Amino acid sequence: MKQPTVMRLSFGSSFNGENEKGVDSILSPIVLSTNYITKKNNMRAKEKRFIKWVKKQCKENGIKCDLRKVKYLKLSGNIKCSGYFDEDERKLVVAMNRPDWLGILVHEYCHLTQWTDGVKVWTKGCEGLTKVEEWLEGKSVRGIKTALAQSRDLELDNEKRSVALMKKWDLKIDIDDYIRKANAYVMFYNYMYHSRKWSSPDNSPYSNERVISKMSNKFNMRYKQMSERLLKLYKQENI
């Protein structure tokens, strides 16, 4: 079975018209910070070196690095995203004509490292995402709580990798803001067990200020279960 493509959603985009889920691949609305902006005509030398390095790493691993001068990527139907890594098609693709391109590139590259490292969280996470996609489409799926946990752990591992890479390269990204939004998104996988739906692109966990304000700026939260306080908050905010 083809593994689901791991993607970063374009803000404000929709899934297949109305529903926030993919058709052939699940679209993960992964967190990013809007507090870092690199103008396309004023790219810093460090960002240029980072891009060159990512391309080199992709080439060494037989991956095509496709950095497109577009605001979003069109997939099947009306599905849009801002970046993805696909291990089957051997591609890493990022929409570069947007203010958040740097964080997207970091995140998708780190999914590549999960794959090349052969970590268990990658294999299990992809299996979980497949089941979550089917469940969100209305199918009866056994072990959905485990599948959601596997998907959550995949993204948590990747966000930690992303932040480590941002720090290593000293990239112009607000780390505290990024982590708060990452935590809001990771916790969303726990909440999805109760809601059985993706959040609205206009009210995602990583864009809701009340939700973000309750998140830690470190990866030190209790991720294995959602507290009653956070569950109530996500329900009140209709995430």
Mean pLDDT, to the nearest integer, of 129-151?
A: 94
Which range has highest mean pLDDT (27-41, 72-86, 87-101, 157-171)?
157-171
What are the sequence ranges of the domains in the chain?
A: 6-174
In this predicted structure, what is the pLDDT of residue 224? 96
Q: Please report which residue ranges of the chain form alpha helices under DSSP H.
A: 45-60, 101-117, 120-136, 144-169, 175-195, 209-213, 228-236
Residue pair 22/73 in contact by the 8 Å Cβ criterion: no
Burial (Cβ within 10 Å: 0-12, 13-18, ≥19) of residue 221: middle
In this predicted structure, what is the pLDDT of residue 47? 93
DSSP three-state, residue 57: helix
pLDDT one-digit tens code per residue, 72-130: 888 765 667 788 999 999 999 999 998 889 988 999 999 999 999 999 999 999 999 89
Could you give the CA distance from residue 38 to residue 106 in angstroms, rounded to a whole number?
A: 14
CA 43, distance to chain mean position in Å, is: 24
In this predicted structure, what is the pLDDT of residue 218? 98
pLDDT of 35 above 80:
no
For residue 131, count other CB atoms closer than 10 A to its CB.
21
Enumerate residues 6+ apart whose C-beta is below 8 A from 47. 38, 102, 171, 172
For residue 153, count other CB atoms closer than 10 A to its CB.
20
Q: Please report which residue ranges of 170-217 form alpha helices under DSSP H.
A: 175-195, 209-213
Could you give the CA distance from residue 69 to residue 100 in angstroms, rounded to a whole number?
A: 13
In this predicted structure, what is the pLDDT of residue 137? 87
- Between the CA atoms of 226, 232, 234 and 239, what dihedral angle is there, to the nearest 10 degrees? 130
Could you give the CA distance from residue 13 to residue 80 in angstroms, rounded to a whole number?
A: 6
Mean pLDDT, to the nearest integer, of 208-214?
A: 96
The first and second tokens of residue 202, run together, are 């206009």
pLDDT of 27 above 70:
no
In this predicted structure, what is the pLDDT of residue 7? 55
